[in-house]
Chain A
Amino acid sequence: MTLDRRRFLQLSALGIVAIVADSACAVSSDRTDAAIDRPQLLVMLGPERVRQLGAYYRASTPSENSAGALRSALSSGQGSHIPLIKRGSLDDQVRDDFAAGRTVVVDGWVLSVTEARQAALFSLTPA
């Protein structure tokens, strides 16, 4: 099953995106997924550190210790943006997190909740 942008928006509006996205992303490696599990952090900290941070996050947040749970959390992001559509939206969401104080400290790094979840998703991808 693929999930194009138009279909995603419709589902999102109906509030069922999390469920669909979970199953969709499990079998897809399309562009949308790439944005979800490729946080900006990768550029700054490198894949090894980000993978480690993601693992720490999952360990410290048992309720989000699966790809489905993380995607669900990301898609129901607390900002005003519709997440998971494209890179720019996620980046905005990350900035909004920082501005609103929605941060989490993972291995000492002060991260946006969104990017911490992205890192956690990244940690579930093959190295």
Chain B
Amino acid sequence: MHTDARTLENGAVIDADLCIVGAGASGITIARELSNTPLKVLLLEGGGFDFDPQMQELYRGENVGQPYYPLQAAALHQFGGTTGHWAGFCSTYQPIDFEKREWVPHSGWPIRREDLDPFYARAQKVLELGPYKYEAADWRNGDPDRVPLLNDSRVVRTQMWQFSRTRFGPKYRDEMVNSPNVHLYTHANVVEVEANDGLTAVQSVRVRGFDGKEHRVRAKRFVLACHTIQNARLLLASNRQTRTGLGNGNDLVGRYFMEHLEMPAGTLAVANPRATKTKLYALDFMNGTPRGELGLTPSAQQEHRILNGTASVEPGDPTDQVKSTFQLIDTAMQSKVRAWEKGGMKGPHPIGVAIQALGHPISGPPRFYHLKTRQEQAPNPDSRVTLSTEKDALGMPRAKLNWQLTDLDKRSMRTFYQVLGREMGRTGNGRVQIRDWLLSDDRTWPSFVSGGWHHMGTTRMSADPKQGVVDANCRVHGLANLYIGGAAVYPTAGAVNPTLTLVALSLRLADHLKTKL
């Protein structure tokens, strides 16, 4: 079922077993899992089915920390969420990403990688990926040239990626609209979460439209799955009953905001271009062929006391002006991508064209390759989302993002390339150059500092309410029936993009909810 909430009478009250706030990758995944069950499930989406500038404007906020992308362009506010313009990079978090690493403050999940494995396997299907295989040997595809660089290294590993083309909006719209027990409401922006008098459980959420009409949804259980920044914003703004906001008794909501650092950081010169096999690392944007990136092994990370990260390997000259992700995919590029997708995806992908244009004309096997970092940032309580004094058109305080990085972030990136350089030299494969900006002091970041619009943290997971907002089941500590879906619950960011893990965690949450409803 589907209802446009704008058609409801003012003051409507809707009851359900489960209310999911937000119809992005997480919310839709949970709703699909609970579809065709006896449960009455409400899926509330603030936006409609299409891109709407007025709706998108609700995501505008302040950036007061490191230079960051405009918040209204960093996530999509419509059915399907940010999968409406994502690049589809999917890979699994490594076991080390879940572990407590004594050299990474605030690290450690209350679950292990093996707890997620069965859900990763299911998530592959949701995202229309290939088999649940992420070893380089799995993706040789019968081609003897698709082999890892430094195959026998104890220091360097290859992280494999698969690529999803799934846009949750068009892909799952009909399934949601036609579900017998999931009722989708679009244009249903939640502006407040309301708890009981004892603040031990959520009773309802308040929905408000641009026309001023308000509705209330009551349910046995609630899931906030409306994006990492917006989840925190909503909890913090739900401050009528408790000044600091719901679920925020320990001043943790909004803290530990994390990104993946995605920046050009090095160059690889190979010793023997004809003999160097880099095919496994080639980005085949149109066909989505699985590709590898170079990373360091867990033991190397431990030895050097650094964060987890990878480097893409793409042909190019050291003199090329390689762009960071924020520079490459600006708002103009986003518009191009939207137009390209709306037009039926004919011709080369605009991002692929832009990447090609950045390269250096190459004849024959390349001697040089650009190395672009993708790295977790260290969990940092000072990197946080708070509320702005400015309000949006619905009267909600806007989000204020203070993105902050630490010395460990930069030192890890530099050390990564030093170690990679040593290993390339030791094996006679080549030499690595570290970019100038990475060689300066650890506190200074260049103007092109960039994430990948991967918003994580803000309601981090921990078994200890003093260390995290949600428990291992994604339930908000202290609130019996409120859960968080999405990357907001990540205690650490891992080296790879968050969506596959987000879907896996959502499947796990859905299974948990089935036992509770």
Contact = CB atoms under 8 A, between A and B. Distances in A.
A108 B268 CA distance: 11
B333 interface: no
A95 interface: yes
Contacts of A111: 425, 431
Contacts of B418: 103, 105, 110
A98 B426 contact: yes
- Contact size range, A: 20 to 34
A76 to B, nearest CB: 21
A41 B436 contact: no
Contact of A105 (B423, B428, B434): B434
B2 interface: no
Contacts of B420: 110
A94 B425 contact: yes
Interface of A: 40-41, 43-45, 91, 94-95, 97-99, 101, 103, 105, 107-112
A110 B269 CA distance: 11
A110 B367 contact: no
Given A44-B269, A99-B422, A110-B421, 7 more contacts: A45-B431, A95-B425, A98-B425, A105-B439, A108-B266, A108-B267, A110-B432
Give me the 7 closest cross-chain CB pairs, A-B, nearest first: A110-B421, A98-B425, A98-B426, A108-B433, A44-B269, A108-B434, A109-B433
Given A44-B431, A105-B439, A110-B418, A99 B426 contact: yes
A112 B434 contact: no
Nearest to B271: A44
Interface of B: 266-267, 269-271, 367, 417-418, 420-426, 428, 430-436, 439
A109 B269 CA distance: 10
A108 B431 contact: no
Nearest to A43: B271
B136 to A, nearest CB: 23
25 contacts: A43-B271, A44-B270, A44-B367, A45-B269, A45-B431, A94-B425, A95-B426, A98-B423, A98-B425, A98-B426, A101-B422, A105-B434, A108-B266, A108-B267, A108-B433, A109-B432, A110-B418, A110-B421, A110-B422, A110-B425, A110-B431, A110-B432, A110-B433, A110-B434, A111-B431
B287 to A, nearest CB: 31
Contact of B422 (A41, A43, A45, A98): A98
Greatest chain A CB density within 10 A among B269, B271, B424 is at B269
A58 B51 CA distance: 58
A18 B418 CA distance: 31
A107 B433 contact: yes
A116 B466 CA distance: 52
Given A44-B270, A45-B431, A103 B422 contact: yes
B313 to A, nearest CB: 16
Contacts of A108: 266-267, 433-436, 439
